[in-house]
Amino acid sequence: RARKRFGQHFLHDPGIIDRLVRTVAPMAGQKLVEIGPGRGALTYPLLEQVAHLDVVELDRDLIHLLREAVPEERLTIHQADALRFDFRPLAGDLKLRVVGNLPYNISTPLIFHLLEQAEVIGDMTFMLQKEVVDRLTAAPGTGDYGRLSVMVQYHCQADYLFFVPPGAFQPPPKVDSAVVRLTPHATAPWPARDPVYLGKLVNQAFTQRRKAVRNALKTLVEPDIFDALGIDPGLRPDHLSVADYVALANATG
């Protein structure tokens, strides 16, 4: 039986599983980590491509099944909460390729937890609630663009890969799903002097997303700073680019 509190919706559509694994296209010698392997829907096909896999799973019963099916030299099972897991020691010389059909109730904090360790991550391919993928990959000026888009795109290239209907899972979730690829920037295209302050500024801007940005940010940014940076202060917060937010943060923080 699937455990609701662990967000367990198991993939069972072979076409979707195959597409996801082909999208990851794991190559021999790469360091792969799967978050939430569950009953192994992705784990087994991934193990056909690589000699060894690390997985992080919370549910003891599922770990049992995996342990019985795959020998230790091929599969290292970390029984842990992925939200607290330190991925850095797994990396060694090679960056990690992270894969997962994530529990949707923890997907946003998990992405932020992984971004804190972005220096050891080559890329991440995740199945997520489609609405979250839309926000992760949104461009300025679109309805889905917000705090999550800016903060994730500050760290990563975010690409929408493909749509997945509820019927691909057992039991089917109530929402549509999609697969996203997040690729941490090797060097920051717009380095923020103080990323924590950047987060604060972006947060403040989007709590008042219907106001002009000059008003939404009036406690943090003097009006003449917009002119100096060439940013129209009459724009709404959802029309500023990631580069604009970094420029505002670097000029004021």
106: contact with ligand SAM by CB under 6 A: yes
Which residue, judged by CB position, is nearest to ligand SAM in the bound state? 36
Q: Nearest-CA neighbor of 133 among 95, 89, 102?
A: 102
Which range touches ligand SAM (CB under 6 A), out of 39-47, 69-77, 115-123, 186-194? 39-47
Q: CA-CA distance, 110 to 87, in Å (whole number)?
A: 12
227 belongs to the binding site for ligand SAM (CB under 6 A)? no
Site membership for ligand SAM, residue 41 (CB under 6 A): yes
Q: Give yes or no for residue 6 binding ligand SAM (CB under 6 A).
A: yes
- Beta strand segments in the chain, E: 10-11, 31-35, 53-57, 75-79, 96-101, 121-129, 156-164, 169-170, 177-184
Under the binding rule (CB under 6 A), the answer on residue 103 touching ligand SAM is yes
Determine, following the binding rule CB under 6 A, whether residue 38 of this chain makes contact with ligand SAM.
Answer: yes
Q: CA–CA distance from 176 to each of 13, 99, 164, 182, 242 (Å)?
A: 14, 19, 6, 19, 27
Stretch that binds ligand SAM, among 75-83, 137-145, 182-190, 240-248 (CB under 6 A): 75-83
99 contacts ligand SAM (rule: CB under 6 A): no
CB of 102 to ligand SAM, least distance (A): 6
| 52 contacts 79 by C-beta, under 8 angstroms | no
Cβ closest to ligand SAM, residue 39 vs residue 135: 39
